[in-house]
């Protein structure tokens, strides 16, 4: 895939009014989700749940791409259509999670580095054959009184850049995800400082690795108060702080920024995205790449029962539509109470 083609895919991933569904939960993670609805995490139940989401009527109006787990990329709809083919036929771009998870960073207590570079070139070639057109790699940066260290930020930024370069070599658009976690008691000002440091180092590494910035999508955290902070910043404060941080640290060549929800409630994630887009125009598209914030209501409505299929789809359709509206600042809180 040429640089022009990578740019076209990246722009399609953040097309106006649309965003990305993160359905790439690992097997242990989706088991935890299924445990909350007393549903066994069998391969068929996982397949059926993802099919419910993917086949939701009208989903393509608001969903531009789906991040898949390795297992899901190889699965099919109940009529035998491979998921990547089914999605592509509906103008939804299939993607794939390729990292192997965050592991303890030796010598740096309480800090982590994401692994998965070994054999990545070969895996990317296979994933492209299976239909993936973009990939995702998540780095994890924790905040505490004495962390993150510069070394932790640098190690994760370096790995993100190596991954991104390998993706572009394979003709796959990389989602670059340096997540500063909202766990902890830090305030929004501390989050802003750490996020700025992380983004600055990440883009320096991307440039050093000769990654074409117009052929990536950035998936950052929002600048937000820690979950245990005594004072939670308002929606407007989060929007202002996040936009200021991104404006200072994200080059204009990047086609789009697709936020992670990072533990926010589905309503908060939508409200924050909406407020940011109301502050526009911006040099890049401000979109979403949500997992729980798109799926939580649908998972609860479905509850592992075939008779609840349509209820699960209705819940997913509503969240997708509301986030689609937030892409242009047209979301209103009153819409939460309108049926899908």
Instruction: Report the pLDDT value the prediction gives residue 55, as an integer from 0 to 100.
Output: 98
Handedness of CA 261, 263, 266, 269 (dihedral sign): negative
Provide the residue ranges of all domains of the chain, joining segments of one domain with +: 3-327
If phi > 0 it is left, if psi is from -120 to 50 it is alpha, else beta; for residue 100 that is alpha
Segment 189-208, tens digit of pLDDT:
999 999 999 999 999 999 99
Helices (H), 102-149: 120-129
- Report the C-alpha gap between 169 and 121 in whole angstroms: 9
Q: Per-residue b/e over 300-322, b at no fewer than 16 CB within 10 Å?
A: ebbebeeebbebbbbbbbbbbbb
3-state secondary structure of 31: helix
Segments of the chain scoring below 50 in pLDDT? 339-340
If phi > 0 it is left, if psi is from -120 to 50 it is alpha, else beta; for residue 110 that is left
pTM of the model: 0.97
Instruction: Report the pLDDT value the prediction gives residue 337, as an integer from 0 to 100.
Output: 78
The domain defined by 3-327 folds into TIM Barrel (3.20.20)
Which residues, 6+ apart, have CB-to-CB distance to 245 below 8 Å? Answer: 192, 195, 196, 199, 223
- Report the C-alpha gap between 169 and 94 in whole angstroms: 18
User: If you search the block for the tokens 């609840």, which residue do you land on?
Assistant: 308
Instruction: Report the pLDDT value the prediction gives residue 31, as an integer from 0 to 100.
Output: 97
Question: To the nearest 10°, the Cα dihedral for 27, 33, 37, 39?
Answer: 0
Helices 309-326 and 43-54 cross at an angle (nearest 10°) of: 50
- Report the C-alpha gap between 237 and 229 in whole angstroms: 15
If phi > 0 it is left, if psi is from -120 to 50 it is alpha, else beta; for residue 176 that is beta
Helices (H), the chain: 3-13, 27-35, 43-54, 70-73, 83-89, 120-129, 150-169, 188-208, 235-249, 266-278, 292-302, 309-326
Segment 132-190, tens digit of pLDDT:
999 999 999 999 999 999 999 999 999 999 999 999 999 999 999 999 999 999 999 99
Q: Which of 97, 112, 136, 219 is catalytic?
A: 219
Whether 103 is a known active-site residue: answer no
Whether 112 is a known active-site residue: answer no
Q: Which of 25, 111, 177, 285 is catalytic?
A: 177
Report the relative pairing of strands 112-114 and 217-218 from DSSP bridges.
unpaired
CB atoms within 10 A of CB 207: 12
Helices (H), 60-142: 70-73, 83-89, 120-129
Instruction: Report the pLDDT value the prediction gives residue 338, as an integer from 0 to 100.
Output: 64
């Amino acid at each position: 895939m040429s640089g022009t083609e990578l740019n076209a895919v990246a722009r399609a991933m953040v097309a106006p009014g649309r965003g990305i569904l993160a359905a790439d939960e690992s097997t242990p993670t989706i088991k935890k989700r299924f445990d909350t609805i007393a549903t066994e995490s069998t391969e068929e139940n996982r397949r059926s749940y993802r099919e419910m989401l993917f086949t939701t009527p009208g989903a393509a109006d608001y969903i531009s791409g789906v991040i898949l787990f390795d297992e899901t990329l190889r699965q099919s709809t109940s009529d035998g259509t491979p998921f990547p083919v089914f999605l592509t036929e509906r103008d939804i771009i299939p993607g794939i999670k390729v990292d192997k998870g965050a592991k303890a960073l030796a010598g740096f207590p309480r800090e982590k580095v994401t692994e998965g570079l070994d054999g990545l070139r070969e895996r990317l070639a296979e994933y492209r054959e299976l239909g993936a057109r973009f990939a995702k790699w998540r780095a994890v940066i924790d905040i505490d009184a004495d962390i993150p260290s510069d070394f932790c930020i640098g190690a994760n930024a370096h790995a993100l850049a190596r991954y991104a370069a390998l993706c572009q070599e394979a003709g796959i658009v990389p989602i670059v995800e340096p997540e500063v976690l909202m766990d902890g008691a830090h305030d929004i000002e501390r989050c802003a400082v750490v996020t700025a440091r992380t983004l600055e180092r990440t883009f320096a590494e991307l440039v050093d690795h000769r990654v074409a910035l117009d052929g990536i999508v950035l998936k950052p955290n929002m600048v937000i108060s820690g979950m245990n902070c005594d004072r939670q910043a308002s929606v407007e404060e989060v929007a202002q702080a996040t936009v200021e941080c991104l404006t200072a640290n994200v080059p204009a060549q990047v086609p789009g920024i697709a936020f992670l929800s990072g533990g926010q409630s589905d309503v908060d994630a939508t409200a924050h995205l909406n407020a940011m887009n109301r502050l526009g125009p911006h040099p890049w598209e401000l979109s979403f790449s949500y997992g729980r914030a798109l799926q939580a209501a649908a998972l609860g409505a479905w509850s592992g029962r075939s008779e609840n299929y349509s209820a699960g789809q209705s819940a997913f359709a509503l969240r997708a539509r509301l986030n689609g509206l937030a892409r242009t600042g047209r979301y209103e809180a009153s819409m939460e109470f309108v049926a899908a």
